[in-house]
A and B are shown apart, each in its own frame.
Chain A
């Protein structure tokens, strides 16, 4: 008996040691001086390498988004969130609209080629689109309403034909334009191989793991298992041509260890085992102020990063929350909330305050801030914590405590709400707590509740019926920085077009409807005159801050870009002198990949 137990324990120990040792052997084979380590992007093992699919769980390589992730697959253009411009990558020079703004033309760089050496041509771009449409991929479904066709005029010229409305104008030129910096160009030859393999079955096409995929970017698959994923540089990468970067990116390997949780990732960052961190580290400044580690963020002081999105609390305006259709109630809650505490505690100061960047519909980047007339809406913007103002507003509207229970009533019925966000979303939960506390200050009973995400998301995105009880004030995200911003963010915060959708992943989950706002949102994509645009955006901000269908609680960066300079240095930082400026997006997203070409070793 004793012997058996001993054997079992020994076996267990040996297994445990083997499990612990195997990844570290693999780790040792990567030379530290040639490897850039990441965290905060990849959770769980990689499933596939298929650029048509949304289910690869391959966060480092595949993300077709406003700031597309371009280490492996490439887009014609790269978006730069810092200056709002797009820069050619596969494309040769800027794109051009025809005079009617119905057709967008760009050329492909002659130097561009796939990792197997075959040239990348306009035909690849056209065939990629055709495949998206034919198999109804997520990209195809999202763009079908705006793009009629993409054709290759010759070897190097691509024309994107916009879908036209009844008046003969493009339905949405802004979204057509965004396509070129959002979506990958995928090899026609490889796509045809894939189609043959799956025999034209759309489900199989999207489910294929695409281990044999051909790519044009600087990195490809080196190694992937459930402990990490490693990408290796393609030393034959076309971008070393003088027409693009003129050299290869500096690190030979990009590696992402799969950490169990944030704490494990932070520990690795502190130990210098991670160079670029995309994780929320609370009180990030303590890493250098207290721990004296060579760690820094894009900005040396709070808010440490560039805010891009606006996490927002929505009021339920679908009719099922008593009293929220009353503007005075909404406004009183919104101005009473203690935003400085949300920013200081929930975000540990990693957000600009509303004193620094007054609330509007724009994110804190200079480009968006310049799009509205600050003076025209200054008297509508509030910085929060205005308990007396909120009380006065409610008193004036006749919403007072008539039965002496400490809570105010509207037409005899007590105002009581539930503020909510998904469970486990710690910074949001902390923010919702502060919202609830504000209600108690002004005599409106707000309690907090945190359902599981699986429940929360089904309830909130069901926009074809009034929201159920418990969702009076609820938090959701808004768009970050991108080529269609701030238009797309505003649309998702205010447009009534999403009301009635059985599965609404776009926005306006509170069910706000204002025909004036809808008309402006419709008109902006067609407008090209800058002065006129500014007028329209200012009007939208005015409507938003007057009607208060929702209220922004904080600014949140696109990525939490924290770097450890134990091995690598020359990461982007504010005022680093790069031109165009390299944005702090982990050196993988949009124009931030330019940062990979600037890295240097601390000890060469």
Chain B
């Protein structure tokens, strides 16, 4: 056993797959210890917030240690953030179209450009070739120019609860900074938020866990059914074999996924929990395991040690468990790994069609993709809501398949180097 394990880990493919898989598994186990938020909690009002650190404006305004930093180019960065080169170009185009002589416009001179703009821009003017989208753009641009070049401090005021009058409560200068770590409320969204306003990373970790459980349950169910049927069919033979082979062949010709869709649809959404889906996937994907196990058992059952065991009066169950199973155990383990990986894919496929587990109880990788697709995250460039999910699915199946190939190299004499 020790030798076998050592040999297994000497396989490069298995090792890489194992490391990836364990990394994912450990993340799933450890992450919830640090981030205790419920994975399905709706925390943003507004959807698909981009990844980043979100700092509470109110708190940072009131944050007591405030630091003064004299950073070079701060003012020009402030201006560039609101008035980029494209914006200047667009302003020039508009002014020229209105009849302002081109040589009187210097787009590098911010103050001059803004002054010229403010004295000329008229949102109701319809210039030839200008669309309503352009007009909306210029109106937005004009609004964002408000106070752009101001050097005065900003005054913070609050309404007096009794009189309703505004009273000054603070002043913010342009060189004031706060340390993000000292602001009481800030939130890091490593992967942004999704269409419901949920933290994608927290949801993704939890979904990975659920999908792995679905994979394990489905894999174990499928492998158990496949193994038992294969052992019985191959060893006992005769009529029992005929019947099992008949059923197996019947299931082989029906596409598994179609069967899966039909069963999922007919059990209805009320009953479709993650566990149910796992079992459904399991009971529809045992066919190939049965066939392979049966084939191996047929070749094993006339071996001498099996006959010897029979003569010794051992029961069928004993023979199957002690004399046959050990010979095909490596195959069964490999089949199990593949079943797990294909079950995770099957859940994703089902969920994308809307036939997976119901939305609210637990997140799964398939459900995350489904909602991302419904809200068109892939079309509207919200990569963080869909790409990490695909990556995790790919990594899980890739690592499992890699482990499988690695094991194959160790156990299959034909492939041994």
| Chain A residues proximal to chain B, CB less than 8 Å | 262-263, 266-267, 270, 281-283, 286-288, 290-291, 293-296, 300, 340-341, 344-345, 348-349, 423-424, 426, 429-430, 433-434, 436-437, 447-452, 470, 563, 565, 569-571, 573, 576, 602-603
Contacts and interface: CB of A to CB of B under 8 A. Distances in A.
Contact of B269 (A288, A300, A451, A573): A451
Given A282-B195, A345-B195, A433-B359, A569 B45 contact: no
Contact of A266 (B42, B269, B270, B376): B376
Contact of A290 (B47, B265, B381): B381
Given A263-B376, A288-B137, A433-B359, A282 B381 contact: no
Contacts of B354: 423-424
A183 to B, nearest CB: 33
Contact of B379 (A263, A341, A571): A263
A282 B47 contact: yes
A433 B360 contact: yes
Nearest to B373: A263
Given A263-B373, A448-B358, 4 more contacts: A291-B381, A296-B132, A345-B44, A565-B131
B359 A450 contact: yes
Contact of A283 (B134, B378, B380): B380
B139 interface: yes
Contacts of A282: 47-48, 195, 375-376, 380
Interface string B362-396: 00000000010111101111000000000000000
Q: Which 8 A-B pairs have the closest CB atoms?
A: A565-B131, A294-B133, A344-B45, A300-B136, A296-B133, A569-B131, A426-B374, A282-B375
Contacts of B196: 345, 430, 433
B129 interface: yes
Given A341-B45, A345-B47, A294 B131 contact: yes
Interface of B: 42, 44-48, 129, 131-134, 136-137, 139-140, 195-197, 265, 268-270, 354, 358-360, 371, 373-376, 378-381
Contacts of A569: 131-132
Contacts of B375: 282, 426
B137 to A, nearest CB: 7
A450 B358 contact: yes
Contacts of A563: 132
Nearest to B378: A263
Contact of A434 (B42, B137, B269): B42
B121 to A, nearest CB: 16
A348 B44 CA distance: 12
A256 B269 CA distance: 35
A471 to B, nearest CB: 12
A288 B197 contact: no
B139 A300 contact: yes
B269 A450 contact: yes
27 contacts: A266-B379, A267-B379, A282-B195, A283-B48, A286-B381, A293-B133, A294-B134, A296-B131, A341-B45, A344-B47, A345-B44, A345-B47, A345-B197, A426-B371, A430-B196, A434-B42, A448-B358, A449-B270, A449-B358, A451-B270, A470-B270, A563-B132, A565-B131, A565-B132, A576-B132, A602-B129, A603-B129
Nearest to B131: A565
A288 B133 contact: yes
